C-alpha cells in the first residue's frame, strides 16, 4: 500500500471510528450519531434539498475519491507504460477480490461498465434457444432488459411472454405468479428475474423462483443491478447461474464499473463476443476494449469502504429508513405503499403513489411538487401494471429526520 493511500484510508477510519462489526446491526441502524459520522466521510450534498434519489448511482467516500484521483493521475501520467505492464496484474488482483466478496470463482466473473452492460452480455449472448421456444419477463423488470428480451426474440425467431406481478405482493403470491406463467407457457426456456425492482423496490423470492424455473427446464438471468450493496445475498445459495451486477450504485465505486457472473459450467451457454475468437473464458463474453483502469482499480478501495461501514449495518440502516416513512404511511387512506411490510420482500428503496394518480404525467407532477414545495428530491417510475409511482431511494447516510420530513410532506399532499 502506498503511503498516500494508507494516509487516506487511515483518515477515513479515524473519522468513522467504526464499531460496525462488533455492534448489533439492527441497533446500529437506529444510531443517528453513528450514521452522522458515516455521512461525514462523504462530500456534503447540495444544501436545501433532501436527496432521496440515491438509486441512479452512489457517491464515493472522500477517501475513495482521493484514491481514484491518484490512480487516474497515474494512468494519465504513465499511459501505456503502466497499462500494458503493471496494470494487468493489478486488475486481476481486484477481480480476485471482487470474486471473494461475491463468494464465487475468479474465473466466473468479468468486469463490465455497469449492470446494464452485464445483462446485455447475458441476454444477447444466450445461445440455447431454438424455434418454438419462448422468453418470459414481468412488468417490474428493467426497461432496457425488457427491450433486450424483445430484441432477442426477434433475432432468434422465438416469442415473448410478459406478465404482471401482483400488487400488493406476498412471497407466496409472487411464487404463484411465476408458477402460473410457466405452467401456461411450457415453451419458455429462459426468463428474466429482477432481484430488486428499480420501479417499486420489490424483492421477489429469488431462490424459490429460480428453483421453480429450473424444475421446468427454464434458465434464469438475474438482474442484480440494485441488489448488490443494498441487501445481503449469496449467488451460490440462491442457485443463480447467470447474473448482472453493478458496483457504482450501492457499493460506491467510480461510475462505469459492473460485473457479469456466469457459473463456470454454464459459460459455454453464453456466446463469445463477436469481437472474440472461440474461447472458454468468461472475459471473452464481455469484450470491452480499453477500459477506465482507474475506475476498475478503485473497486478494491470501494469494497474496503463498504466493509468498513459494514454490509449488514448498511442493509439494516436502509431498512430502518424505509420503514420510517413507508410503514408510518402504510394505513394512510390516500398513500399507496408499493412494497409489503415483509422485510424479505424489500430493502431500502420503495415506491408509492397517491390513490387515483396512476399516469406518468401525474407522477412527474408529484415529483416536481415534492421538490419545489418541500425540497425533497425523488424520481417517477412508469411501467408498473397498476400505474406510475414515485420511487423513494434513501442512502444509508440520510437521517431519520429527513424521512420524517417526507412523511409530513406526503400527509399535506394527500390531505
Residue 157: left (phi > 0), alpha (psi -120 to 50), or beta? left
On the question of pLDDT at 296 being above 70, the answer is yes
Alpha carbons 74 and 183: distance in angstroms, whole number: 56
CATH 3.40.640.10 region(s) of the chain? 82-303
Output the pLDDT for position 179: 98
Question: Which among 18, 35, 13, 10 has a CA at the least distance from the CA of 317?
Answer: 35
Grid cell for residue 317: 440502516
Query: Is the pLDDT assigned to residue 13 strictly greater than 90?
Result: no
**Class of domain 312-413 (CATH, top level):** alpha beta
Evaluate if residue 118 carries a pLDDT over 70.
yes
What's the CA gap between 377 and 391, in Å, rounded? 10
CA distance 105 to 236: 11
pLDDT surpassing 80 at residue 3: no
**Over residues 293-299, mean pLDDT:** 97
Looking at domain 82-303, its CATH class is alpha beta
Q: What is the pLDDT of residue 170?
A: 97
Q: Which helix (H) or strand (E) holds 143?
A: helix 143-156
Instruction: Look at residue 90 and tell me whether its pLDDT is greater than 80.
Output: yes
pTM of the model: 0.94
For CATH 3.90.1150.10, the residue range(s) in the chain are: 312-413
Pairwise CA distance, residues 96 & 85, whole Å:
18
Instruction: Read off the DSSP letter of residue 73.
Output: H
Residue 12 has pLDDT above 70, yes or no: no
Instruction: Convert the pLDDT of each residue in 315-352 to its tens digit.
Output: 999 999 999 999 999 999 999 999 999 999 999 999 99
Which residues on neighbouring strands pair with residue 191, listed in sequence order? 136, 220
**What is the average per-residue pLDDT within 297-303?**
98
pLDDT > 70 fraction of the chain, expressed in percent and rounded: 95
User: Residue 126: is its pLDDT beyond 80?
Assistant: yes
Look up residue 402 and give its three cell numbers.
429527513
CB atoms within 10 A of CB 27: 11
Q: What is the pLDDT of residue 26?
A: 86
Q: Report the candidate in 297, 341, 299 with the shortest Cα–Cα distance to residue 323.
A: 341
Average pLDDT, rounded, for the chain: 94
> Is residue 65 within 8 Å of residue 389, measured between CB atoms?
no
Q: What is the pLDDT of residues 375-391, one digit of tens each?
A: 999 999 999 999 999 99
> Confidence band (pLDDT; 50, 70, 90) for 11?
very low
Amino acid at each position: 500500500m502506498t503511503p498516500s493511500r494508507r494516509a487516506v484510508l487511515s483518515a477515513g477510519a479515524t473519522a468513522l471510528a467504526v464499531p460496525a462489526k462488533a455492534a448489533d446491526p439492527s441497533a446500529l441502524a437506529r444510531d443517528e450519531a453513528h450514521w452522522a459520522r458515516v455521512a461525514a466521510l462523504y462530500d456534503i450534498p447540495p444544501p436545501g434539498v433532501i436527496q432521496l434519489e440515491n438509486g441512479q448511482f452512489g457517491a464515493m467516500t472522500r477517501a475513495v475519491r482521493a484514491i481514484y484521483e491518484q490512480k487516474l493521475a497515474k494512468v494519465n501520467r504513465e499511459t501505456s507504460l503502466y497499462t500494458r505492464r503493471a496494470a494487468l496484474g493489478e486488475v486481476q488482483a481486484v477481480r480476485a477480490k471482487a470474486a471473494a466478496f461475491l463468494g464465487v470463482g475468479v474465473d466466473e466473473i468479468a468486469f463490465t461498465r455497469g449492470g446494464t452492460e452485464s445483462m446485455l452480455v447475458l441476454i444477447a449472448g444466450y445461445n440455447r434457444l431454438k424455434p418454438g421456444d419462448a422468453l418470459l419477463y414481468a412488468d417490474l423488470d428493467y426497461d432496457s432488459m425488457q427491450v433486450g428480451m424483445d430484441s432477442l426474440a426477434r433475432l432468434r425467431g422465438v416469442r415473448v411472454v410478459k406478465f404482471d406481478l401482483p400488487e400488493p405482493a406476498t412471497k407466496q403470491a409472487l411464487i404463484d405468479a411465476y408458477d402460473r406463467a410457466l405452467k401456461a407457457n411450457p415453451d419458455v426456456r429462459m426468463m428474466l428475474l429482477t432481484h430488486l425492482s428499480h420501479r417499486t423496490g420489490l424483492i421477489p423470492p429469488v431462490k424459490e423462483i429460480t428453483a421453480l424455473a429450473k424444475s421446468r427446464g427454464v434458465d434464469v438471468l438475474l438482474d442484480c443491478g440494485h441488489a448488490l450493496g443494498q441487501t445481503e445475498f449469496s449467488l451460490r445459495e440462491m442457485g443463480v447461474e447467470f447474473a448482472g451486477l453493478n458496483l457504482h450504485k450501492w457499493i460506491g465505486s467510480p461510475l462505469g464499473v459492473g460485473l457479469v457472473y456466469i457459473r463456470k459450467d454454464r459459460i459455454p451457454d453464453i456466446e463469445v463476443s463477436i469481437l472474440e475468437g472461440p474461447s472458454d473464458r468468461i472475459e471473452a463474453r464481455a469484450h470491452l476494449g480499453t477500459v477506465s483502469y482507474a475506475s476498475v482499480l478503485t473497486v478494491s478501495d470501494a469494497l474496503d469502504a463498504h466493509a468498513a461501514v459494514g454490509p449488514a449495518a448498511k442493509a439494516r440502516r436502509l431498512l430502518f429508513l424505509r420503514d420510517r416513512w413507508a410503514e408510518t404511511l402504510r394505513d394512510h387512506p390516500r398513500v399507496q405503499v408499493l412494497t409489503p411490510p415483509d422485510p424479505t420482500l424489500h430493502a431500502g428503496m420503495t415506491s408509492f403513489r397517491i390513490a387515483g394518480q396512476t399516469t406518468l404525467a401525474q407522477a412527474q407532477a408529484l415529483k416536481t411538487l415534492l421538490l419545489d414545495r418541500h425540497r425533497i428530491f425523488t424520481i417517477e417510475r412508469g411501467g408498473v401494471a397498476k400505474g406510475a409511482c414515485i420511487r423513494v431511494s434513501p442512502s444509508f447516510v440520510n437521517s431519520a429526520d429527513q424521512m420524517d420530513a417526507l412523511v409530513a410532506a406526503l400527509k399535506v399532499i394527500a390531505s
